[in-house]
Copies of this chain bind each other. A is one copy, B any other.
Amino acid sequence: MQTDIRATGDAAASADQPYAYPLLIKQLLHTPLAHAPDQEIVYRDVCRHTYRDLVARIGRLGSALSRLGVGQGDTVAVADWDSHRYLESYFAIPMLGAVLMTVNVRLSPEQIAYTIDHCGAETLLINTEFLPILDGIRERLPKLKRIVLLSDEPCDPAAVGAVGEYEALLAAADPQHAFPDFDENTRATTFYTTGTTGLPKGVFFSHRQLVLHTLGTLGGLAGAASGQRLHRGDVYMPITPMFHVHAWGLPYVATMLGVKQVYPGRYVPDMLLQLRRTEGVTFSHCVPTILQMLLLAPAAKEMDLSGWKMVIGGSAFTVGLATQAVARGMDVFTGYGMSETCPILTLAQLKPADLDLQPEQTVPDRCRTGLPIPLVNLRIVDGNLEDVAHDDQAQGEVVVRAPWLTQGYLKDADATAHLWRGGWLHTQDIGRIAPSGSLQITDRIKDVIKSGGEWISSLEIETLISQHPAVAEVAVLGVPDARWGERPLPVVVPKAGAEGVTAEDIIAHLRAFADAGRISRFAVPDQVRFADSLEKTSVGKINKRQMRERYAAG
């Protein structure tokens, strides 16, 4: 039995008229059903379903939510770790004409309450692990009408005032739900982006945007000559949370392609590595911190990591970390984008001409920000929106147009107009473009260090410091300086066993790059701080704002 992903209320069918084919998320399911109905979708060591099951379960979820009262335009929030249930929600909720809101469970309870309330969600699908959080914020969610529990273990919905448990609801529901056709510009998803200041801001994406992002990302990923690509023989496992920018959109791409998918639940290095081995995972994506965690995990020591393709994004991918991964035979490369951009804009795939290089020679290109995927119109511009030169020297703000950029911030016209100044989405990233076309982000506008009238890229200094053998992690901050305005201050986390490294070692290491002309002498810091760890945001990015506050005092 298979759910009906064809049109209903089908005007074309009744009148012998051409079918106008709206770009709806349900249309992504045609290819996998034809190519790979028996291919598997695995959830940890808990359960496995086929794509045929996936489509039937999407139908059941659609039927169940409809019966609970979810209709077109309603918002349904989901709070879960990465699971088959989340994948089913990625499809069924938007396919109903409702809006999927992915709850960032790493935010503070206050922020979680703010985001669920701000988007107007009346329905919440929540993993029982997060019920204690919900307990604390329940009274701040007056719009919330119904809760559905998600759990790998038996649980009692009535005991917590929930309308049901996910698997029980699906079991009782009709798999043949007739998902309607509607306008492709209907909102499909929304989620919140957290800067380091202010309230979280909601971004939102339509069916059309998600379908086009899926096609553009597939074209960009699959088009590589060899390596750094996703294809029908791959086994996909996300290691970027599904509440974070559609897990970069890859669950949609992997589903359309019909590949085997593996959902790892909460990220635990041993489970991730075990799934890599037992399920034969070949394609993942994560932030640098997770890659580092995987490389350092005891279980990884004896494991064959070679051939594991991994897109690295979310924050700068340093040469030091990339070198470690490449030495293990991993096929790591940068992907670039942000919450506002759905997210993928560029990928750092090797060019066909570079395929003969030795692995270590490819590291710098893997760490660049990369080249735009199909349809992305990406520029670096000055303050007047004029192009700056593509000589890998001149820097400008990265501005973009693509068919999948958020058309604004939810209920915030001022921030929307600021984001879209001059009709281009402003990334607030500073970058340079090489004659080869490859973009290199050098800094966030707000993190660039303005010292003695010169701009110093904190990212560039971090990249060089990360290559020092004693350095595990580093952040370079701009701290106030009476004479120069700002000066760069590196905060270094030494590797285990390398705690003896000194400020002089780090400064001498950088001075060598200045002597070689790679950075200006002015960019060499006067002092270095050491720490046991760096401050991180809820999504694992270094929180420079907080660090600046802490270290500015000196």
Contact = CB atoms under 8 A, between A and B. Distances in A.
Interface of A: 6-7, 10-21, 23, 27-28, 30-31, 33-37, 211-212, 215-216, 218-219, 222-226, 229-234, 256-257, 351-352, 355, 371-378, 385, 401-403, 405-408, 416-418, 420-425, 437
A30 B355 contact: no
Contacts of A33: 437
A436 to B, nearest CB: 9
A284 B326 CA distance: 35
A423 B13 contact: yes
A432 to B, nearest CB: 14
26 contacts: A6-B377, A7-B423, A14-B423, A16-B418, A16-B421, A16-B423, A17-B423, A18-B405, A19-B401, A19-B405, A19-B423, A19-B424, A23-B403, A27-B375, A30-B372, A30-B377, A31-B373, A31-B375, A35-B351, A35-B372, A215-B216, A215-B219, A218-B223, A222-B222, A223-B232, A225-B234
A372 B223 contact: no
Nearest to A376: B30
A10 B372 contact: no
A485 B407 CA distance: 64
Contacts of A17: 417, 420, 423
B232 A225 contact: yes
Given A18-B407, A21-B403, 18 more contacts: A12-B423, A13-B385, A15-B423, A16-B417, A16-B420, A17-B417, A17-B423, A18-B406, A19-B420, A19-B423, A19-B425, A21-B375, A23-B212, A218-B223, A219-B222, A224-B231, A225-B234, A256-B374
Q: Which of A222, A374, A376 has the most CB of B within 10 A?
A: A374
A404 to B, nearest CB: 8
A141 to B, nearest CB: 30
A218 B373 CA distance: 12
Contact of A402 (B21, B225, B229, B421): B21
Q: What is the copy number of this chain in the assembly?
A: 2
A355 B31 contact: no
Contacts of A385: 13
Nearest to A221: B222
A234 B35 CA distance: 25
Contact of A218 (B10, B371, B374, B377): B374
Nearest to A223: B222
Contacts of A257: 219, 223
Contacts of A14: 423
Contacts of A256: 219, 374
B27 A377 contact: yes
Contacts of A7: 423
A355 B7 CA distance: 36
A496 to B, nearest CB: 40
Contacts of A373: 31
Nearest to A29: B377
A256 B372 CA distance: 11
A437 B37 contact: yes
Contact of A233 (B18, B31, B225): B225
A230 B219 CA distance: 11
A267 B36 CA distance: 39
Contact of A372 (B15, B31, B417): B31
